Structure 1
Amino acid sequence: MTRHEDVPPLWRHADGRPLACVEKIRVLDENYRELAQVLRDALEDGILLGCAESELRAALHELVERVRPGF
């Protein structure tokens, strides 16, 4: 069963046009779902270890903002 947060967005080009290549969409969707699972696991681990959920979410949001492409 797919969780609501695992439903990928409509992927778009920089100019706003939707991507049409099925293979590119498949890769992006797979990455999105894998990342959603990793984030869910990190949240659950942190909460079980006693960290406040709000602190975990803030740290993960900050990480997303700091990450840059490596190419």
Structure 2
Amino acid sequence: MSMPEMPKWYGDDGEIVSCTEKIKVMTENMTELFQTAQDTFEDALLMGCSEAQLREYLQRLVDGVENPYK
């Protein structure tokens, strides 16, 4: 699987994030995150870890990300 297409980003107010620099940073961050996750996933598979367990843990990892700006 390849990296999903980048979405249009929206604020909580429903307004689209249109700043070119912000979109560039989001694209770079998401690309880096995807590549790190892909590399980690491949390494774990080569070490004999369960694919199902890896996917479940990666989902839990994402679910555990907290918003410090609330």
Q: For the superposition of Structure 1 and Structure 2, which TM-score range results when normalised by the shorter chain?
A: 0.7 to 0.9
Query: Structure 1: where are the runs of 5+ without partners?
Result: none
Larger RCO (CA within 8 A; separation ≥ 6): 1
TM-score (norm 2): 0.85
Instruction: Report the identity percentage.
Output: 39
**Aligned equivalent of 1:41:** 39
User: Which residues of 2 match residues 1-71 of structure 1 at below 5 A?
Assistant: 4-70=2-68
Count of residues in Structure 1 that have an aligned counterpart in Structure 2: 69
Query: Structure 2: where are the runs of 5+ without partners?
Result: none
Cα shift readout 1:4-47 (whole Å, capped 9, x = no counterpart): 41532211111222111000000011000000000100110110
- Compute the RMSD of aligned alpha carbons: 1.7
TM-score (norm 1): 0.84
- Runs of 4+, deviation exceeding 6 Å: none
